[in-house]
Chains A and B, each alone.
Chain A
Amino acid sequence: MKRFLWLTILAAGTASAQETAPPRSLPAVEGVLFEDVPADNGAGVQATWKKMPNDAEVTYKVLVALSEKGPWFEGGSTPGTESFTQDDGLPFWMGPPRNRETHYLAIDGYQDGENRVTLQPAEDPKKKTRKDTPDYWFKLVAEGPGGRWESPATKLRPEWNFFNWARLNVFIYMISFAGIILFFIRVARGRQLFIRRIAGLDAVDEAVGRATEMGKPIFYLTGRNGMTDVSTVAATLILGEIAKKVATYDTTIKVPHTDPIVMAVCQEITRESYIAAGRPDSFKPESNFFVTDDQFGYTAAVDGMMVREKPAACFYMGYYYAEALLLAETGASTGAIQVAGTDADHQLPFFVTACDYTLIGEELYAAGAYLSKEPVLVGTLRGQDVGKAVVLAALLILTAVATIGQWISVGGKKPWKWSELSVFDFLKGS
């Protein structure tokens, strides 16, 4: 009798470990489907299944295995009241039809003990290249007070895709935008295009002239980021134009750096500017110098130089972090004329407050073209403006469509109140 009891316990334990015993008390889940996630790197599988009447009590799990017999690992889970195709996060032209009748769960890996293992292509150990994703087995498990239900195991090999269709809109816009810019470059070669005035850039002459009269240096900062940041590239382009004016007026420019690569690029740009201005002998390589890559070490050093040397003008171009206000306030306290230009929207208020002129956002990118007045570069500015107009028009149209749609959906259950419109959700605390 005792031996029989042990055998029973052992048998129960084994069955539990393999997770193969299919209790019959929960109703079968309908429409279970495992598919490859479209437009991904071969590491995603999506599971869909029909909403069930007992969903409020059920938790769904997707189990993953490397063979049909297991062992099975949990890939993901969701309460029965959540995760519908409506919430799949994919753009409208992709994925299953949106509704709240079909559940949706995307799986990109599974939990093996404490480790999260990602579904991914195996690597060829000899060539060190990625091979096809191996076969995986998936099944859906429903668990609730009534017991447990399991779908049959489904074999699936997630596949790579060569184009991410979820980014189709970005791709179309980028191609169109590139076309617009190239078109206006062509137009600008034929005739002069109008550019709106940018006060901050008109002040460059004033700042350089002031420095010449006072016999004091100009400080030019290129921001905290490296050459991989487009705003730093824009800052170096502006430096080229300002250095030409500095060379023409034979005044002094100091460019303290926090990135050695940016320093090397700026040194070359400054040298060429002096050559272009016809004053190669006046160029001093040490005008561009490295300070430190430490954020506050750099700030302290530059602040110290400002206080000691009392520059006539300070330019802050590029991307800045917390040091923005520390630099700009110190510059303001020295009485320097200050021009800032950044695309760091968090730091813009500080620069607007502490500087005489601020180039906001895309004006930083326009500055090189504005100062050089080269027709080809001016053409790109017009292209940028047209691109902005397209975005603005799209925003207005889509906002109107969304508002009308909301209006109609709420108006269907008259009498409605203003407060029922979702635009007032923030007041309802949602």
Chain B
Amino acid sequence: MVFLKRQLPLLICFIIGTISAVQYYVPTHLSSDVAEGLSNWYIIVAMFASLLGFVSVGMVHSKKIQRKEPGWAYSALVFLGIALMVVLGFWSGGKETYDDGRISPFGWLYNATLVPLQSTMFAILGFYVASAAFRSFRAKSFDAGVLLVTALIVLLGNVPFTNYIWATGLGIHDIAGVKFEMTDIVGWLIGTPNAAARRGVTFGVALGAIATSLKIIFGIERAYLGGGD
């Protein structure tokens, strides 16, 4: 039992992890075929696991309905939505559009409900960005002040009218023969200090990911199997 629960998963992890790491350095078709095979296995496992997800959704919402918890009607709507999509999916032969170009009931429900809802959620992001920016741009410290000034320059530099004022109104085109317009300042801010900071983070992330992968491949980190040793 211990072998099945601990040693076998560790062995599988070591073999698959090593193959995946070596595969990166081996350019043959055999190597890419192995990678493709592993990827297909993952997809198959994920498909079976999606049943787990479906069962989990069913249990959570059926309990809410049974116990008449606050908002249980929304749980009923979940089942109604699932049933409606399944029925219309079968009715439409699983097609969003028919061969003659007409949209099927299944496709209509998808386009008329899910797509607008997704777009709405994404659109809310614009307002959240504004509120988050308002909070972070309060110049309480020197660092926050630098952030505020930099952000203002980038914001203004992306507005065509500001560029027009800079070049035409103020007549600034170059300093000591070097091209120096608003867009150049923005380009420098994004391309130099910002890119440098992001690359620093990327280096750290890459090393952290390699270290975590090594810990898992060599069986040093076993918590993902379910807790301690």
A365 CB–B CB distance under 8 Å? yes
Tell me, rounded to whole Å, the shortest Cβ–Cβ distance linking B113 to chain A: 11
**Residue among B117, B121, B179 with the highest chain A CB neighbour number at 10 A:** B121
Set of chain A residues within 8 Å of B32, measured between Cβ atoms: 41
Closest to A330 in B: B128
**Contact: A290 with B53, CB < 8 Å?**
yes
A348 CB–B CB distance under 8 Å? yes
Set of chain B residues within 8 Å of A259, measured between Cβ atoms: 53
**Contact: B204 with A361, CB < 8 Å?**
yes
**Contact: A120 with B29, CB < 8 Å?**
yes
A226 CB–B CB distance under 8 Å? yes
**Contact: A345 with B202, CB < 8 Å?**
yes
**Contact: B57 with A326, CB < 8 Å?**
no
**Contact: B178 with A362, CB < 8 Å?**
no
- Residue among B56, B57, B124, B209 making CB contact with A365, cutoff 8 Å: B209
Scan A248-266; emit 1 where CB is below 8 A from any B CB, else 0.
0000000001011101110
- Residue among A261, A360, A365, A384 making CB contact with B201, cutoff 8 Å: A360
A183 CB–B CB distance under 8 Å? no
Closest to A237 in B: B223
B49 CB–A CB distance under 8 Å? yes
Closest to A161 in B: B27
**Contact: B27 with A365, CB < 8 Å?**
no
A115 CB–B CB distance under 8 Å? no
Number of A interface residues in the complex (CB < 8 A): 92
- Assess A237 versus B28: contact at CB under 8 Å? Given A290-B52, A361-B201: no
A213 CB–B CB distance under 8 Å? no
- Residue among B31, B59, B176 making CB contact with A419, cutoff 8 Å: B176
Q: Which residues of chain B in 44-63 are interfacial with respect to chain A, using CB atoms and an 8 Å cutoff? A: 45-46, 49-54, 56-57, 59-60, 63
Set of chain A residues within 8 Å of B178, measured between Cβ atoms: 419, 424, 427-428
**Contact: B203 with A269, CB < 8 Å?**
no
Closest to A167 in B: B25
Set of chain B residues within 8 Å of A121, measured between Cβ atoms: 29
B131 CB–A CB distance under 8 Å? yes
B161 CB–A CB distance under 8 Å? no
A63 to B228, CA, bound (A): 62
**Contact: A290 with B191, CB < 8 Å?**
no
Q: Which residues of chain B in 198-213 are interfacial with respect to chain A, using CB atoms and an 8 Å cutoff? A: 198, 201-205, 207-213
- Assess A42 versus B29: contact at CB under 8 Å? Given A345-B198, A376-B220: yes
- Assess A39 versus B27: contact at CB under 8 Å? Given A230-B212, A353-B132, A368-B223: yes
Set of chain B residues within 8 Å of A268, measured between Cβ atoms: 225-227
**Contact: B227 with A130, CB < 8 Å?**
no
**Contact: A291 with B57, CB < 8 Å?**
yes
What residues of chain A have their CB less than 8 Å away from a CB belonging to chain B?
Answer: 39-42, 120-121, 130, 160-164, 167, 170-171, 174, 177-178, 181-182, 185, 226, 228, 230-231, 233-234, 236-237, 240, 257, 259-261, 263-265, 268-269, 271-273, 275-276, 286, 289-297, 299-300, 308, 322, 325-326, 329, 343, 345, 348, 350, 352-354, 360-362, 364-366, 368, 372, 376-377, 380-381, 383-384, 387-388, 391, 417, 419, 424, 426-429
Pick 16 A–B contacts, CB within 8 A, sort by A: A160-B27, A160-B29, A164-B25, A167-B25, A174-B21, A230-B208, A230-B212, A237-B221, A269-B223, A273-B227, A329-B132, A343-B209, A361-B202, A362-B207, A417-B177, A427-B188
What residues of chain B have their CB less than 8 Å away from a CB belonging to chain A?
Answer: 21, 24-33, 42, 45-46, 49-54, 56-57, 59-60, 63, 70-71, 114, 117-118, 121-122, 124-125, 128-129, 131-133, 135-136, 176-180, 184, 187-188, 191-192, 198, 201-205, 207-216, 218, 220-221, 223-228
The 4 closest A-B pairs by CB, nearest first: A272-B227, A365-B208, A362-B208, A260-B53
